[in-house]
Amino acid sequence: MSGEQNLMGESDEWTPDLRWDMETEWLRKRADGVASSCQSYQAVNGVHQNQQRGASASGCSSDEEMIDLASNKSGGGAMGDDENAHLHSLHSHQGSAAPGLEADELPPGIGQYDDFHTIDWQRDIARDRMRHRYIAKKKNDSVFNMIRGAHDAWSGWVCVFLVGVVAGSVAGVLDIGTRWMANLRLGICPKAFWLNKEQCCWMSSEMQYEEDTCPEWKMWSEIFSAGRDGAGAYIIQYIFYILWSMAFISLCAMLVRTFAPYAVGSGITEIKTILSGFIIRGYLGKWTLLIKSIGVMLAVSAGLSLGKEGPLVHVACCIGNIISYLFPKYGRNEAKKREILSAAAAAGVSMAFGAPIGGVLFSLEEVSYYFPLKTLWRSFFCALVSAFIVRSINPFGNDHSVLFYVEYTTPWMFFELVPFIVLGILGGVVGSIFIKCNIRWCRYRKFSKLGKYPITEVLVLTLITAVISFPNEYTRMDMSELISLLFSECGPADNNKLCDYKRVYHNVNDPVGLAPAGEGVIEAVWLLLLALIIKLILTIFTFGIKVPAGLFIPSLAIGAIIGRLMGIGMEQMAVQYPHLWVFSNECSANCITPGLYAMVGAAAALGGVTRMTVSLVVIMFELTGGVKYIVPLMAAAMASKWVGDALGKEGVYDAHINLNGYPFLDSKDEFTHTTLAADVMQPRNGQLSSLTQDNMSLSEVESVLRETDHNGFPIIVSAETQCLVGIVIRRDLLLAIASAKKLQDGITGNSIVMFTDTIPAVPWIGPPPLKLRKIVDFAPITITDQTPMETVVDMFRKLGLRQTLVTRSGRLLGIITKKDVLRHIKQLANEDPHSVLFN
């Protein structure tokens, strides 16, 4: 690996000597039995955080203590000392008893990973298979071992069950709290202040009342004796709307900055990266869970153009991460843990929309990287449990478990497929415009002075949003209420502007036929056009700010506005030109439902932003209960994806992954170039930093560690032959050396470091050797220098590799890491290869 191969992406000031000093101090604390706390975490990674990410956590969340819980215990849990010793033999053969460090003496933390590094899927899966074989071998020895074997078999189902129960409960509380806080900006229920507007009006004795005139619900202007109408009442409402918005967002921003800096954004970008095997310590910890849950309620209630559904996926994954530590099978194995996280992601969508099947498909299509069949079953079960819990809590206050239940009386006509496809095209165009503008703004924020003032940006954006949104009733109301209104079908009892048609009803049972638009509909059209522009612009600037912010609901709202406007246009065309061949045969009565167009437009816009297809359609018909409208939804979703891909290949989450430099190899992309492994391996010229198997002293090994910052070191027979023996990971080597210095007497700088089972032919003279064969991987993945890069890329994607060694006739030539592959792909695409920051 060349000097450029800095797997952490540090700046030039991050010198090997500085890293060595920090690692030495960190390992000294680990050897003394001190858990990897926030202090040691910052000692190792703080320089990187400050230089690359631009901001460091101002408070210790103790998430790292939880992350290292399993690795800091040599025994306990479901695995005893004998099992640990058995597992440590995975990378080695049983050898002789030469003086040195034995398997049972391996320090805690071997096989774990550093922050901002990629896991080794093959090693972790092999460790789990070894553990499973050991349990199966021992289960007939005693009743205890039989119980332990049974526990191991059903622990996965119990884990996802607990995740579903806790996630569903949290989602129900968040839904209730968000609705109450959002209504608080407009008024209060004096008789029971803890009730939102809808619940407050249930107490009213009046059977019917005009919109916003429920006698039990008091607007702030009424509280201050200014009445409901007039300039004074309007000004008071305007002021309270702004004050409550600023209060909510100020509290949210301060909580996030102080306690959990990772609780920002939607989290789906990072969840995708984590599920691909990347380590981000603390991102799924308990403080992030708590602050994200509180913060998303505050952010949504502040009226910003964002939603809580994306952050709920992050919240569910935090719950899955925490609960997985109750089961060492998952808590101690990063690859196995990602099976639980995939199920948790499915539960996140399920509890957000009441769409369990859509949640499973979302996890499969959009976020998961490794999704075996058993994970599919467990994801389905987890989503089912979370949806059941949300339905039991009934946060929507109706008889349906979905957020936007619709029931249209008019079926869609065949000719309407044309406007549905047009809606899909518009959704793809709007989605591409949003992605390009949002990424450009986020890049400017990241590399300009604006990024140094995140709280100021949030406050200013909230103030602008509140000032602009209040005058327009469609931007003033909560976005979920707006979407529900746009999806609805007009009936005789509806009195909102969208249903102000020139119709005459003789009784409530009369059919709702086509009719010319009234003044209310015309006014609503202009207000919706203005709301569309405001929502689109505000969402571009809002997504990516330093508060919890989702994108699902804003995208649905933008698409629903476009769809409703087109639906009204089609409806009025049928009224004005009833004799056109399109309408003459099938439009004898009412044949156009504007609410259906809103639903299709919402799916098209969300598809254009995220590039989802199958999961999007299923989520939409589960979200609305409109199973009869799968074909229009499918047509719009496919048109949206085709147009979006034609204008830009990446969805919004993939674009943010590239912006942040995360090491994500998308399995959906194809590698079509003809380069070879020799064109990518490091070093291209010169010799790779390596260690010999049995003739380097401890001081020489420490010198190599001090002078380089490579993540792994190949083990070779000798410098002359360069014949490959295996590979040792830097972190494991540092831990083993630190532990040996503490536990083994006589270890000095002249002690020979032995990575094999070599037995000296003559009596041992000098200080005892340091035998580290137990930490060596003697079966590393290797390729030849003539291997096509197309094959190498497939190996990294499908095997989950973090590095592979390059050989020729058994002689070591170089190494290819995941970052090398990503940078090579960037270079071939004429993009900046140094934008990939991590390995």
pLDDT at 445: 92
Q: Looking at residue 762, what is its pLDDT? A: 61
Structure token digits, residue 827? 């270079």
From CA 745, how far away is CA 695, in angstroms rounded?
20
CA separation for the pair 200, 208 (Å, rounded): 14
Nearest-5° angle of CA 420, CA 362, CA 638?
Answer: 25
Report whether pLDDT(365) > 50.
yes
Least confident of 26-35, 226-235, 557-566, 748-757: 26-35
Please check whether residue 288 is in contact with residue 63, taking contact to mean a CB–CB distance below 8 angstroms: yes
Which has more confidence, 161 or 416?
161
CA distance linking residue 424 with residue 617, whole number of Å: 12
The tokens of 755 are what?
Answer: 């990575």
Residue 822 pLDDT > 80: yes
For 405, phi and psi rounded to 5 degrees? -70, 130
Determine if residue 810 is left, alpha or beta; phi over 0 gives left, psi from -120 to 50 gives alpha, anything else beta.
left
The long-range contacts involving 506-511, CB below 8 angstroms and separated by at least 24 positions, are: 511/589, 511/590
Q: Which one has a higher pLDDT value, 291 or 395?
A: 291
Helices 552-576, 417-447: crossing angle, 10 deg rounding? 150
Strands 696-697 and 752-754: antiparallel
Three-point CA angle 177, 179, 180, nearest 5°: 65
> What SS3 state is found at 112?
coil
**Phi/psi-derived region of residue 116, left when phi > 0, alpha when psi is between -120 and 50, beta in every other case:** left
283 to 61, 289, 458, 664, 762: CA distances (angstroms)? 10, 9, 21, 17, 53
| Residue predicted with more confidence, 273 or 489 | 273
Helix, strand, coil share (%) of the chain residues, nearest 5: 55, 5, 35
Local structure of 709: helix, strand or coil: coil
Please give the distance of CA 748 from its chain centroid, rounded to a whole number: 47
**3-state secondary structure at position 161:** helix
pLDDT at residue 237 greater than cutoff 80: yes
Does the pLDDT value for residue 290 go beyond 60? yes
Res. 109 pLDDT band, cuts 50 70 90: low
Helix axes 334-353, 268-275, angle to 10 degrees: 150
How does pLDDT run across 734-757, given as a tens digit for each residue? 998 988 888 888 888 888 888 887
Give the mean model confidence (pLDDT) for residues 552-574. 93
Assess contact for 218 and 189: CB atoms under 8 A: yes
**Structure tokens, 102:** 């034995």
Amino acid at 1: M
* Cis before 768 (ω within 30): no
Q: How remote is the C-alpha of 812 from its chain's centroid?
A: 38
SS3 of 99-153: CCCCHHHCCCCCCCCCCCCECCHHHHHHHHHHHHHHHHHHCCCCHHHHHHHHHHH
Q: Are 735 and 752 in contact (CB under 8 A)?
A: no
Average pLDDT, the chain: 81
Rounded distance between C-alpha atoms, residue 100 and residue 773, angstroms: 10
Residue with tokens 């009936």: 491
- pLDDT above 90 coverage of the chain, percent: 40
Lowest mean pLDDT among 60-69, 437-446, 733-742: 60-69
Lowest mean pLDDT among 60-74, 587-601, 690-704: 60-74
Q: Which of 6-15, 311-320, 450-459, 598-607 has the lowest mean pLDDT?
A: 6-15
Q: Name the pairing type of β-strands 218-219 and 712-716.
A: unpaired
Helix (H) or strand (E) holding 187: strand 187-188
Of the ranges 218-227, 376-385, 752-761, which is most confident? Answer: 376-385
Euclidean distance between CA atoms 700 and 200, whole angstroms: 75
Percent of the chain with pLDDT over 70: 81
Question: What mean pLDDT is predicted for residues 181-193?
Answer: 87
DSSP conformational letter for 91? G
For residue 671, give the DSSP letter.
Answer: -
Residue 577 pLDDT > 60? yes
DSSP assignment letter at 487:
H
The DSSP output letter for 756 is S
Closest CA to 795 of 712, 674, 671: 671
Give the pLDDT of residue 39.
33
6: confidence class by pLDDT, cuts 50, 70, 90: very low
* Average pLDDT of the segment spanning 323-337: 90
Residue 206 pLDDT class (50, 70, 90 cuts): low
Q: Distance between CA atoms of 542 and 565, rounded to whole angstroms?
A: 25
**pLDDT score at 398:** 58
Whether pTM > 0.85 for this model: the answer is no
Using DSSP's 3-state secondary structure scheme, residue 501 falls into strand
Q: For residue 189, which amino acid is it?
A: C
Rg (CA), the chain: 30
Considering only CA atoms, which of 176, 183, 185 is closest in space to residue 308?
A: 176
- The answer to whether 731 and 712 are in contact (CB under 8 A) is no
- The answer to whether 777 and 123 have CB atoms below 8 angstroms apart is yes
Answer yes or no: is pLDDT of 103 > 60: no
* Per-residue pLDDT band at 226 (split at 50, 70, 90): confident
Q: Please give the pLDDT value at position 571.
A: 87
Residue with tokens 């789990």: 128
Strands 691-692, 712-716: parallel, antiparallel or unpaired by DSSP? parallel
Beta bridge partners of 118: 278
Q: Is the pLDDT confidence value at 88 over 90? A: no
Residues 56, 124: contact at Cβ < 8 Å?
Answer: no
Q: Quick count: other Cβ atoms within 10 Å of Cβ 446?
A: 14
Lowest mean pLDDT among 31-35, 161-165, 408-412, 473-477: 31-35
> What is the predicted pLDDT for the residue at 201?
80
CA distance 660 to 255: 23
Give the single-character DSSP code of 682: B
Compute the average pLDDT of residues 99-117: 62
3-state secondary structure of 137: helix
Task: Decide which of 386 and 109 is more confident.
Answer: 386
Q: Give the Cα separation of 358 and 346 in Å (integer).
A: 8
pLDDT for res 560? 95
**pLDDT at residue 489 in the model:** 83
Q: Spell out the alpha helix ranges (H) of 354-413.
A: 356-362, 373-393
Residue of 166, 156, 618 lying closest to 351 (CA atoms): 166
Query: Is residue 760 pLDDT above 50, yes or no?
Result: yes
Distance, CA of 186 to CA of 221 (rounded, Å): 9
For tokens 């101090």, the residue is 25
Cα–Cα distance for residue pair 836/664, rounded to 1 Å: 9
Better-predicted residue by pLDDT, 211 or 622 = 622
The yes-or-no verdict on residue 75 having pLDDT over 70 is no
- 248 pLDDT tier (thresholds 50, 70, 90): very high
- Smallest Cα–Cα separation from 13: which of 42, 40, 46? 46
Q: Tell me if residue 598 falls in helix, strand or coil.
A: helix
In angstroms, the CA 616 to CA 631 distance is 13
pLDDT of residue 44: 29
Average pLDDT for 577-583:
76
Sequence-distant (≥ 6) Cβ neighbours of residue 765 within 8 angstroms = none
Say what the pLDDT of residue 368 is.
Answer: 86
Taking the mean position of all CA atoms in its chain, how far away is CA 696? 44
Cβ-contact 155, 327 below 8 angstroms = yes
User: Is 50 exceeded by the pLDDT of residue 42?
Assistant: no
Chain-centroid distance, C-alpha 55: 20
Question: Token digits for 14?
Answer: 């991050």
Two structure tokens written together for 525: 């059209």
Q: What is the pLDDT of residue 505?
A: 60
Quick check: 370 pLDDT over 70? Answer: yes
pLDDT digits 0-9 by tens, 532-549: 999 999 999 999 999 999
Compute CA distances 235 → 148, 398, 409, whole Å: 67, 34, 41
Q: Cβ contacts of residue 712 below 8 Å, gap of 6+?
A: 727, 728, 729, 730, 803, 815
Res. 477: pLDDT tops 50:
yes
- What pLDDT, in 10s, does the model give residues 491-534? 777 778 888 887 666 565 555 667 788 888 999 999 999 999 99
Residue 761: pLDDT over 80: no
Q: Can you say whether the dihedral through the CA atoms of 608, 610, 613, 619 is positive or negative?
A: negative
Q: Is 74 helix (H, G, I), strand (E, B) or coil?
A: coil
